[in-house]
A = this chain, B = another copy of it.
C-alpha cells in the first residue's frame, strides 16, 4: 500500500520550526508522488511536560507504537534544566526508544561538498566523507539496572553518597544490532568496524565475540575489523575516511557519532533513523530525527536549518516506506538548493550565498523538487 501513517513530534526549541518545513515536504510527496500520508501531531519533551507533567504522555506512546513512522524534532532547553531526572525532556525520547525497541540507530556522517570548508578539519581529510555509525540504542548503560544515587557511609567516603549505573548487554542484543550493521554495509562499502573497550570491560569482550560470531556465521563476505573505542575516537579525527560502517554500543555510539558528525562541518544537515523489529505490515518500528539538538539560543527566530530534519524524512521514505527513489529525489533537491548557494545562517561562509530563513529554505527545497 502507498498509504503511510506518520506521527509528528516537534518537541522543543527549534523543533517546531524545522518540523513545519518537513510538513511542506510531506505534503509535496502526497500531492505529487501518489503517496498518501495520514499525519498526526503530538507533544514530546519539555512541551509535553508543560502540558502533562511528563515528557511523554501514555497516549502519545500508544500512538507512536501504532504508526508507520515517528518524526521527532528535538527535546530539551534551559527552562527544564532543573527538573527531576525522571521528568526531564530527554526521558521522553528515551522512553520512545526503549518501548518501541528501536535498537539500531543509524547516523550517517556525510560531508557535503558545498560545506566541506565549514569543517574544522582540513578539506582533504573530510571531503567526500560518507560513513554510517550504527549505534545500539535500547540497552547498555543507558538502561541497565541497578542504577541510582544512594547513601554510602563508609568512613572513607567524604560526601557519603555513591552513584551507580550498569552496563549490561546480552548476546542477543549485540547480535541483532550487528546484523543491522552488516546488512547496511552490504548496500555500501561492505566494511564494518566494531568498537568497544574489550581490553578493560567484559561487556566489551562479549560485544567483540558476538559481532565476530554474526560475521563468521552469517556475513563472512563483509570485511570486519575491531577497534578499541579510544583508538576509534583517534582514528575518526586522524583519517575518518578509513571507515564505512561503524557499529558500537549505546554510550560509545553517543560520543563517537557526535564527534563524527562534527567532523563533517555539516551538523545542521545530518539526519538519523532509529529502527526496531518489523511490525505486522512488514515495516520496521521507526523514529527519525535530526542529529542536532533543540538549539534554544536561536529558537523562534527563523534562523534554524531545517535540512537535517528534512533529510530525516528522506530516511523515512527509504527505510520505512521502501520509497528509495523518492528519498533520492528529495536528497538531490537538497543538494541542488545548496549548490545554488542558498544558505541558512549556520551555512553562511566567507564565500557568501543567498541568506534565507528556515521557512524560505523549506520553500526552496519544495521548489527544487
Contacts and interface: CB of A to CB of B under 8 A. Distances in A.
Interface of A: 76, 85, 88, 90, 94, 120-122, 125, 141-142, 144, 147-149, 152, 156-172, 174-176, 197, 199-207, 210, 213, 229-231, 233-234, 236-239, 251-252, 254-256, 258-259, 261-263, 267
Contacts of A160: 171
Nearest to A230: B258
A255 to B, nearest CB: 5
A47 B247 CA distance: 33
Q: Is the contact region of chain A dominated by helix, strand, or loop, or is it mixed?
A: helix
Contacts of A122: 120-122
A229 B166 CA distance: 18
Closest 4 A-B residue pairs measured CB to CB? A159-B171, A163-B206, A163-B203, A158-B172
Q: Kindly report how many copies of this chain are found in the complex they form together.
A: 2
A149 to B, nearest CB: 5
Nearest to A231: B258
Contact of A170 (B159, B174, B201, B207): B159
Given A125-B120, A175-B158, A85 B238 contact: no
B262 A164 contact: no
Nearest to A94: B200
A265 to B, nearest CB: 9
A88 B206 CA distance: 16
Given A121-B120, A166-B167, A205 B149 contact: yes
Contacts of A204: 163
